[in-house]
A and B are shown apart, each in its own frame.
Chain A
Amino acid sequence: MKKNTVLSRAFLFLMFLFLYAPIFVLIVFSFNDSKSNAVWGGFTLDWYVQLFQNQTVLTALRTTLLVSLLATLAATVAGTAAAIGFSSMRRRSRNLCLTVNNIPLTNPDIITGVSMMLLFVFAGQVLADLSAWLNAQSWAEQANLWFNFSFNLGFWTLLIAHITFDIPYVILSVLPRIRQLDPNLAEAALDLGASPLTAFRKVVLPELMPGIINGALIAFTMSIDDFVISYFTAGSQVSTLSMVVYSMVRRRVSPEINALSTLMFVAVLVLLIAINVRQARQDAARQRELRSAGRV
């Protein structure tokens, strides 16, 4: 392919300007010693101090990290298991499962959110009615039992929702790895006397690992970034960071929000650089290995 001209590089530059200028303006104004979003009033770190004293933001940050980590963990395990199960299904049932699996991926988020909210509220009501009915039974009274199955939207429903939309991503990134898997490998291990579990752990799992890690990363990103589904399923007790940002921008806007943007930007930047550096090191190491192997 031909090399890029100056013109096309200039286009690229403009596009990056478009993507980054707004973020940089926010960053600059997070140090602005004035509430105005247009006039510069001197340098300050006040907004950062206020942000770190803002209990709502801190709690939401904790909730977001907890939900994302737990959901990623659960989704990675369940998704990997499901992918393995899917691949050994008959074609017909596998296609059906994959179609259903694709629903949360292709469906607009708002529909996933709304429909899960309906389900949770419905289930909560059914269970509340059930416990009331059980409590009215004479045998329950005799046994001195008190049933209380009712629940409300909250951390657990939020977590279930996150797991549900995370799993499909894990499955989609593990499945191709399974297809590439050489079935003889596992059989060889079995023939050599490994138990099925050992064969899975020592032979199959390492082969699937890159897909699993990739899936976990995507799931984590999706959980962290989600707003819409959380908005509908979190109920009244918990809020994720996105939800707090949403209520912040709809009220009187404080420059704290600029400080928050800056911190998130820096966090993501550091994370990405770390991943890239690690990748580069691995690539370099592999190349060195290849070269030395070639010489011998």
Chain B
Amino acid sequence: MKKFLSLLLALSLGAGLLSGCVSSRPTEGSDASGEDSAASGGVVNVYNWGEYIDESVLADFEEATGIHVNYQMYDSNETMYGKIAGGGADYDVVIPSDYMISRMIAEDMLEPLNFDNIPNFADIDPALLNPAYDPENLYSVPYMWGLLGVIYNTTMVDEADIGSWDLMWNEKYADDIVIFDNSRDTIGIALKRLGYSYNTTDEAQIQEAVDLLIQQKPLIQAYVMDDIFSKMEGGNAAVGTYYYGDFLTMLENNPDLAFYIPEEGTNIYVDAMCILKGAKNKENAEAFINYMCSTEAGLKNCEAIWYSTPLLSVREELDPEVSGDVYAYPDESIMAQCESYAGLPQATLDLYDSEWTRLKSAS
């Protein structure tokens, strides 16, 4: 009897749960969930890099539109990809870098944007339109861009040693060097030092690069992402590589820091806002993207994180000292040294994953 009762209980519980999942069919052409949430303002789930926004912009957006922002952060393109590919995450807006966008387009993870809902797109620098990672510009709206380079502490590093990627392998600074904790940037540094392209698919070249990094491993103090801020600002490490915008932020807190672009060349990147396939709040997501492209939000963000803005109106409003900064808005001669990351074929991506694990697990 008891057995029967508990079975009944379990079944009725199950039925109760199910009943919430059955409804009448949505009528043609309308997006049921979108309408529901638009009425109450609804939500938008945003997944962005850490330290990559002026958080007051989120509050401004909520006030202006009544849409609530669920804001979460990741520390690298690869972590973001893992979280989304693993399933179970439901974000609407993500802000990956160029090469990751082309991977996500290839794997059908992104939703084409409705640019009618993003009028501020007109303000984007034409030089950044129809980029290689999104040739027809269907999926992405640039958020910020910039250069990657070497940051060093002038009180700890001899000026004679700077100038190339070799500094990252200089035994004088053993245990005082920090490097990226993501495969693309770190392997990229070694590829550049060897004189190869960032976008090589040659297995031998990539393995050679990782061997070089394994050699370097005893000199490394830590593999870092945003923890580099406390490492460099606190003088806990002498040499590191990171993005120029973040260097400017660090400089505010530690005037001893300096930045240079290695002579072998470096990476120029664009991080762009995209909407994930099957996003539940697509219209809200477009409203969010549009808001981020407004002059007001763009300026606030730009002055908080110091990355280079793709918005022409924001660039005009910026302090001339900032907009004239050659590393923030590089001229032809610097651009000539830069290469961007391109999307890689699946075989190379798999190789990156396994080589990265080989590097990290080496002793």
The answer to whether A binds B is yes
Q: Is the CB of B227 within 8 A of A146?
A: no
* Per-position binary interface string of chain A over residues 239-260, scored 1 when its CB falls under 8 Å from any chain B CB and 0 otherwise: 1000000010111110000000
Which residues of B sit under 8 angstroms from A144, Cβ to Cβ?
Answer: 24-25
Given A152-B88, A236-B90, A237-B70, the answer on whether A250 and B227 have CB atoms closer than 8 Å is yes
Bound Cα distance A249, B86 (Å)? 24
Q: Which residues of B are interface residues toward A (Cβ below 8 A)?
A: 18, 21-26, 45, 47, 50-51, 70-73, 75, 83, 86-91, 225-227, 229-230, 233-234, 253
Which residues of A sit under 8 angstroms from B227, Cβ to Cβ?
Answer: 249-253
Please tell me which stretch of A10-18, A44-52, A92-100, A117-125 contacts chain B, meaning at least 4 of its Cβ atoms lie within 8 angstroms of it: A117-125
Which residues of B sit under 8 angstroms from A253, Cβ to Cβ?
Answer: 227, 230
Q: Is the CB of A125 within 8 A of B87?
A: yes
From residue B284, how far is it (CB to closest CB) to chain A in Å? 15
Which residues of A sit under 8 angstroms from B87, Cβ to Cβ?
Answer: 121, 124-125, 152
Given A144-B25, A236-B72, the answer on whether A250 and B226 have CB atoms closer than 8 Å is yes
Whether A87 sits at the interface, judged by CB under 8 Å, is: no
From residue B115, how far is it (CB to closest CB) to chain A in Å? 26
Q: Is the CB of A236 within 8 A of B45?
A: yes
Given A124-B87, A146-B24, the answer on whether A251 and B45 have CB atoms closer than 8 Å is no
Q: Name the prevailing secondary structure of the A interface residues.
A: loop
Which residues of A sit under 8 angstroms from B21, Cβ to Cβ?
Answer: 131, 147-149
A-B residue pairs in contact (CB < 8 Å), sample of 27: A35-B253, A36-B234, A120-B88, A121-B86, A121-B88, A124-B87, A131-B21, A145-B22, A145-B23, A147-B22, A148-B21, A148-B22, A152-B89, A153-B88, A154-B90, A157-B88, A236-B72, A237-B90, A239-B72, A247-B50, A247-B73, A250-B75, A251-B75, A251-B227, A251-B229, A252-B51, A253-B227
Q: Is the CB of A146 within 8 A of B23?
A: yes
Q: Closest residue to A238 on the B side, CB-wise?
A: B70
Q: Closest residue to A243 on the B side, CB-wise?
A: B72
Whether A104 sits at the interface, judged by CB under 8 Å, is: no
Query: What is the number of residues of chain A that contact chain B, defined by CB distance less than 8 Å?
Result: 32
Q: Is the CB of B83 within 8 A of A236?
A: yes
Which residues of A sit under 8 angstroms from B234, Cβ to Cβ?
Answer: 36-38
Q: Is the CB of A124 within 8 A of B88?
A: yes
From residue A70, how far is it (CB to closest CB) to chain B in Å? 15
Given A131-B21, A146-B22, A146-B25, the answer on whether A117 and B45 have CB atoms closer than 8 Å is no
Bound Cα distance A120, B47 (Å)? 21
